[in-house]
Structure formats: C-alpha cells, structure tokens
Amino acid sequence: MQSRVHLPAAVAPLTLERLHSLVENRTVYQLEGFELNVFETHHAAHRVPLRLEGLALTTMLRGKKVMHLPGREAFDYLPGESVVVDKDELMEIDFPDACLCQPTQCLAVAIAPDTIRHTVDMLNERYPKAEPHQPWTIEGPEYAHLTNTPELTDTLGRLVAVSRTSDVNKDVLASFTLQELLVRLMQTQARQLIFHDYARHLTTHRFAAVVGYIKDHLAENLTIDKLSALACMSKATFFRVFKREFGITPVEFIIRERLGEAKRLLRHPLASVAEVCLRAGFNNLSYFQALFKKYEGMTPGTYKKQLVA
C-alpha cells in the first residue's frame, strides 16, 4: 500500500501525477532539511509524467527506467547511476521491465534550498576550488546524469541508514551526512566535467591540463613535482586542492586511469599480463596484480580469461 504524507513546501519532493497508480509502495523518511523517498514500481508503463518540487538527487537501486528530460535525448537509467533533477523539471519515465516479481526501485533525496545554499556558501568561503571563476555549485542539465562514484554510493548508503534509525540524535547525524552528500555530488560532477571532458576546459581550468597530461603520459613516470608545476601550485597545495575538488588524490586518479588502460589492453588476445603491466605504466608486476585485484575483484589473468570465454 502506498503511504502518503503532507510535505512542507521547502522540501516537497514529488508531484504525483499518473505515478500514484503505478507506484505500489512508497517509503518516506522526513528529516530536518531533506526528505528521503524510496519508490517501487510494480507495473510496466511508458511516458509516465513526474515533477519534483525543488532540487532532488535520484538514484536507481534496482531495475531499469528510460528517462525523457526536456531538451535531451532519452537515456537508460540503471542501477549505479544518479540523476539530479532541478526544481519543477518535468520528467517522463518509461518502466519497460517493471513487474510484481521484479519491481523497479528508485531513491529520491529532496533537499531544502536553504540546506544547499548553506553548504555551497560554506565551501566557497572556506574551501575554494582551484579556479575562482568556477566556484562550488551543483551543475546544470549537461552533468545531471551521473555514474555514481564509490564515495557518493557510500554516503547515500549512510544517509539511508541514519534516516531509518531511531537514534534520538538522528537529525544531527543526518544533517552532517546530507552535507557530505552534497559535497560528494559536486565532486562527482567535477570528475565528469574535468576527467571525462577535459579537452573543453584546457584554457580555463588548470586541472584540465593536468588530467590531459596524465592521460597522454600514462606509461611514463608521473611525479607530483611535474603535475603540480603544470598546475602552477606548490606540491602540498596541488595535492590538497585536487583531492578537495574531486574527492580522490592525484595518485588515486593515476592508478584508476592506468587500470582502465590495462583493462583496455587486456582485451587484445595476444597481449600478455606482463606486457600490459608495462604499457599501462606499472613497473612492478606483483604491484600491478595486487592493485588490479583490489579494484576489480580479480587478477588481470582471470579478467583476461573471462574476456576470452
């Protein structure tokens, strides 16, 4: 049975139009500054309209949706992904695979505008980004569809956990977790902006040049001295601001890029693991194998065998 609550205007997450006839279960956790909704859709449907009143972070937990947002091509919305939905933005949603035995499940965190404003203002005042003309902000529609980072996923999980607890201090704990969620969201968008679209920002963002250099020189010795010089920063400042802006250190970024290149190279049937290790920028085979297993859950040899199978 679908539960219903009256929502304050500041945090009202959803205007249910036709969706009320398709959502069989809605679980609501209402706390100070935000509201968390978990929706399960039990019937296949197409072009279901849904409008969110205020900014919300939605995350797919199970199943599949096809999202139709104004001004862009329709796209599949899958587990491990999030969509930032702006105030009053009308979505039309397909639920192609939803059924009673396999419902589509989605999380929606509707955040009060004052909470967002307070967090963004605090970050810009105390922890400015590398480029003063590009302050902390939640990016617009171009960067609304995101692949969740481990850090964003972890924070969402903790927000759900604290929302469900009966702890008398849950509002305080949730407030801190929500603030972290906003930071992780902006860091995730910053990664998409610079890590994946760096060529557009080479003349306007110093870290875009650093990212471009790393991607072009993965097989070489990449030192913090060299990278900080490219960013025109001291080593300490470069390391600190890079992690603040993207949520990972420059060293972690290099490792992830090299592992991505290693996965690409392993797809070649004639490439050996030792050869891939060197071409991806790892000078020690044991270190490469240990890192690969840590991040991918299997050795490079096993990964290569799975590709062939």
Tens digit of pLDDT for each residue in 95-123?
999 988 889 999 999 998 999 999 999 99
Mean pLDDT comparison of 31-40, 79-88, 282-291, highest-scoring range: 282-291
State the pLDDT confidence band at 140, using cuts at 50, 70 and 90.
Answer: confident
Q: Tokens in use for 197? A: 């679209």
DSSP secondary structure letters along 242-296: HHHHHSS-HHHHHHHHHHHHHHHHHTSTT--HHHHHHHTT-S-HHHHHHHHHHHH
State the pLDDT confidence band at 24, using cuts at 50, 70 and 90.
Answer: low
Q: What is the pLDDT of residue 90?
A: 86
Ranges of CATH 1.10.10.60 domains, the chain: 199-309
Which position has the token pair 């955040």? 111
State the pLDDT confidence band at 10, using cuts at 50, 70 and 90.
Answer: very low
Helix (H) or strand (E) holding 162: helix 150-164
Range in 14-28, 35-49, 213-227, 276-290 the model is least confident about: 14-28
Superfamily assignment of 199-309 in CATH? Homeodomain-like (1.10.10.60)
Angle of the 206-216 helix axis to the 235-246 helix axis, nearest 10: 90
Neighbours of 142 (CB within 10 A): 12
Judged against a pLDDT cut of 50, whether residue 6 lies above it is answered with: no
Domain 1-194 has what CATH class? mainly beta
Query: What percent of the chain is predicted at pLDDT more than 90?
Result: 71
More confident residue, 152 or 102: 152
Q: What is the pLDDT of residue 115?
A: 92
Contact 259, 291 (CB under 8 A): yes
Shortest CA distance to 291 belongs to which of 267, 266, 268, 258?
Answer: 258
Sign of the Cα torsion 52, 54, 55, 56 reads negative
Within 13 Å of residue 66, how many CA atoms lie on the same side as its CB?
10
What count of residues does the chain have?
A: 309
Alpha carbons 124 and 137: distance in angstroms, whole number: 9
Range in 14-18, 178-182, 270-274 the model is least confident about: 14-18
Q: Tokens in use for 129? A: 């980004």
- Strand 15-16: give its sheet, edge to edge: 15-16, 45-51, 90-95, 65-68, 75-77
Judged against a pLDDT cut of 90, whether residue 185 lies above it is answered with: yes
Q: Tokens in use for 39? A: 């929706």
Judged against a pLDDT cut of 80, whether residue 167 lies above it is answered with: yes
Q: Tokens in use for 271? A: 């490439």
State the pLDDT confidence band at 155, using cuts at 50, 70 and 90.
Answer: very high
Compute the average pLDDT of residues 260-288. Answer: 95
State the pLDDT confidence band at 88, using cuts at 50, 70 and 90.
Answer: confident
Compute the average pLDDT of residues 43-71. Answer: 88
Shortest CA distance to 174 belongs to which of 160, 188, 153, 186?
Answer: 160
Compute the average pLDDT of residues 257-267. Answer: 96
Q: What is the pLDDT of residue 87?
A: 78
Query: What percent of the chain is predicted at pLDDT more than 70?
Result: 91
Q: What is the pLDDT of residue 4?
A: 33
Within 13 Å of residue 18, how many CA atoms lie on the same side as its CB?
12
Q: Tokens in use for 74? A: 């329709």
State the pLDDT confidence band at 53, using cuts at 50, 70 and 90.
Answer: low
Compute the average pLDDT of residues 217-233. Answer: 96
pLDDT in tens, 201-217: 999 999 999 999 999 99
Ranges of CATH 2.60.120.280 domains, the chain: 1-194
Compute the average pLDDT of residues 163-169. Answer: 89
pTM over 0.85: yes
Mean pLDDT comparison of 23-32, 85-94, 148-157, highest-scoring range: 148-157
